[in-house]
């Protein structure tokens, strides 16, 4: 029994060392100013602050990787969330979205923060400063709704459907 435990322990330790050779890519894509959220809609400083604190790591090309991103399997887990987050919504590429998509994403920002689905709960375990206060949520929703109304819709005869 003791021998089996020892063997299992050594195997785990070897596996842990072996997976460290599979590091994640941490290079951020270049941000093109013309493509950003800030070029598309007005982002006042208080909103920029909330987004920077709570959202930008997973929703911009300006991800700051913590030291444990270099420790696997944590890095794989982080990378998965970051890539998935950007695929759904990337503030660094927001201005490349069609008007309809911009409106939809702004709507979703309010929905996701009101239902506390964003920021992703696992992010908040460690990034305690990213937790949104009630007033942060209100500010984000108010801003998203206001900006939504300012996006030029392409001329259309049919009302927009969600
Ligand atoms: C740790 C990474 C992470 C953080 C931080 C984060 N998100 Fe996300 N976000 C994701 C992932 C992953 C998805 C896609 C999967 C999902 O919807 O759960 C997503 C999806 C979304 C969507 C849905 C887009 C769609 O097309 O369905 C919105 C809107 C969103 N996030 C807004 C925010 C806002 C606003 C913040 C900050 C208050 C934030 N997120 C913080 C990872 C993150």
Domain residue spans of the chain: 2-150
With a cut of 50, list the residues of the chain below it in pLDDT. Answer: none
Residue 161: the pLDDT is 56
Instruction: Report the pocket of ligand 1 as residue ranges, CB < 6 Å.
Output: 54-55, 57-59, 81, 84-85, 88-89, 105, 108-109, 112-113, 118-120, 123, 132
Residue 152: the pLDDT is 74
- Say which DSSP state 152 is in: P
The count of other CB atoms within 10 Å of the CB of residue 97 is: 18
Distance CA 161, CA 86 (A): 24
Residue 117: the pLDDT is 97
Give distance in angstroms: CA of 120 to centre of ligand 1: 7
Tell me the two tokens of residue 128.
């305690």
Residue 160: the pLDDT is 55
Residue 40: the pLDDT is 96
| Residue bearing the CA closest to ligand 1, atom 24 | 88
Query: For residue 89, which atom of ligand 1 is closest to its CA?
Result: 24
């Amino acid at each position: 029994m003791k021998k089996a435990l020892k063997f299992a322990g050594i195997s785990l330790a070897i596996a842990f060392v072996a997976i460290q050779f599979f590091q994640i890519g941490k290079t951020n894509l270049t941000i093109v100013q013309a493509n950003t959220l800030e070029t598309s809609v007005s982002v006042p400083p208080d909103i920029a602050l909330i987004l920077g604190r709570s959202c930008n790591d997973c929703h911009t090309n300006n991800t700051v990787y913590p030291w444990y991103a270099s420790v696997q399997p944590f890095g794989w887990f982080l990378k998965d969330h970051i890539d998935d987050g950007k695929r759904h919504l990337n503030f660094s590429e927001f201005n490349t979205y069609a008007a309809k998509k911009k409106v939809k994403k702004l709507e979703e920002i309010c929905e996701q923060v009101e239902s506390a689905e964003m920021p992703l709960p696992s992010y908040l375990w460690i990034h305690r400063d990213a937790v949104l206060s009630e007033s942060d949520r209100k500010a984000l929703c108010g801003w998203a709704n206001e900006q939504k109304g300012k996006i030029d819709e392409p001329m259309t005869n049919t009302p927009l459907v969600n």
